[in-house]
Amino acid sequence: MILTDDQTQIRDLARDFAERELRPHAEAWDQQSGFPRSIMDQLGELGFMGMLLPEEWDGLDLDTTSYLLALEQIAWGDASVAVAMSVHNSLPTQMILA
């Protein structure tokens, strides 16, 4: 599969975030049964909480491949954070777009 430049940028941004902000803390967060709320805020600042929403709804209006590339990298950093990101991008997004 050949990625577009935009897809590569999204993947790399997610990977950098996961490597810097998630992976070093993932084990401790698992032991504490949770991660800091600030992580979700940071994902939002990166645009990762509205990846599939149209720009008119303050989303990034990205394709599914870009979304899944980002989600994969976030999961590499911390699976629990990826689940939270996935839920936020799917359930509320579908309700807004319905």
Reported as a single tens digit per residue, the pLDDT across 65-98 is 999 999 999 999 999 999 999 998 887 777 777 6
45 part of a folded domain: yes
Number of Cβ atoms within 10 Å of the Cβ of 14: 28
- Decide if 1 is inside a domain: no
Domain tally, the chain: 1
- pLDDT at 1 > cutoff 90: no
Q: Is residue 5 part of a domain?
A: no
Residues 6+ apart with CB under 8 A from 48: 14, 70, 74, 85, 89
Give the sign of the dihedral formed by CA 43, CA 37, CA 72, CA 20.
Answer: positive
What's the predicted TM-score (pTM) here?
Answer: 0.92
